[in-house]
Amino acid sequence: MHAIEYDIENHVSLLQAIMMQESGGKESDPMQASESGYNTKYPRVPNGITEPEYSIDVGTHTFSDCVKKANVKDPSDTEHIYLALQGYNYGSGYIEWAISNFGGYSKYNAQQFSDMKKQELNVSGYGDPSYVDHVMRYVGITFRGGTNPNFNNMEAWITKNPYAKTGLYGQCTWFA
C-alpha cells in the first residue's frame, strides 16, 4: 500500500476521507491529484489523471509531504493534521504561510489564504476554506487505538448537546 511506502500508514483513515471528499472514492482521479508536482505522467489540470491507482499513489505521496511539513506527530495530533489537510487542498505553500504568519492552521487563516490567492491569481475561487471540516466528517471516531474525539467541536460538546446545555458533563455512558 502507498501509505506504507510514503511512511504514513497511521493515516489511512485520513487518506480515505480525503478520497471521499475529493471524489466520493470514484472517477479516474479519486484523490484529485492531477495538479500535484508528483504527477509526472498526465496533464496537470483538474481531472488530468485517468488512472485511479496512479491518482492514489500521487495523492498519498502529496499528503505524506503535507504531514511531514506540518510536523504531525501521530494520528491524534489534530492541530497539525488540520494544517496538513488544508495544505493538501491549497498546496503545501499554505503550510509554511500559516506557520510563519499564525503559528498553524485556523479556519480564519484558511479563508484569508483563499482570499489572498484569489486576488493574487485574479480568479473567483481558490480551494476550499472549509476543507478540513469537509474531510473530517468522513473520519470515524474510535477510542481504542484510533482517532481521539474532537473536544473542540462546539456542536457536539456544547451547542447541540442536551446534557451540556443543562450543565451536565461527563462520559456519555453516565447518561445512558
174 pLDDT more than 50: no
Q: What is the CA radius of gyration of the chain?
A: 18
Give the tens place of pLDDT for each residue, 111-125: 999 999 999 999 999
Does the domain spanning 2-140 belong to CATH 1.10.530.10? yes
176 pLDDT more than 50: no
Higher pLDDT, 169 or 126: 126
Quickly state the pLDDT bin for 61 (edges 50, 70, 90). very high
Q: What is the pTM of this model?
A: 0.78
The full set of domain ranges for the chain reads 2-140, 149-176
Give the tens place of pLDDT for each residue, 128-154: 999 999 999 998 754 444 445 555 555
Quickly state the pLDDT bin for 173 (edges 50, 70, 90). very low
* Tally: H helices and E strands in the chain: 10, 0
For the record, the C-alpha cell of 128 comes out as 476550499
